[in-house]
Structure 1
Amino acid sequence: MLGMMFNEMECKEFGYVLRKELDEMLFDLSDKRLDQNMRESISKRYQTIFQMYARVAPPKELSKYVRDKRHSGER
Structure 2
Amino acid sequence: MLGLLINDTEKKEIAYMVKRELEELLLDLEDDRIDPAVKDAMRDRYQILFQLLLRVGTQGECMEYMPKSKSDGQM
TM-score by length of 1: 0.90
Q: 1:24-63, aligned counterparts within 5 Å?
A: 24-63=24-63
Write out the 4+ residue segments of structure 1 that deviate beyond 2 Å after TM superposition: none
Question: 1-side partners of 2:32 and 2:63: how far apart?
Answer: 24
Q: Percent identity?
A: 36
Aligned residue pairs total 72
Q: Which runs of 5+ in 1 are unaligned?
A: none
For 1:55, give the aligned amino acid: R
Question: 2-side partners of 1:42 and 1:16: how far apart?
Answer: 19
Instruction: Compute the displacement of 1:61 (Å).
Output: 1.4
CA RMSD, aligned part only? 0.9
Question: 1-side partners of 2:15 and 2:24: how far apart?
Answer: 14
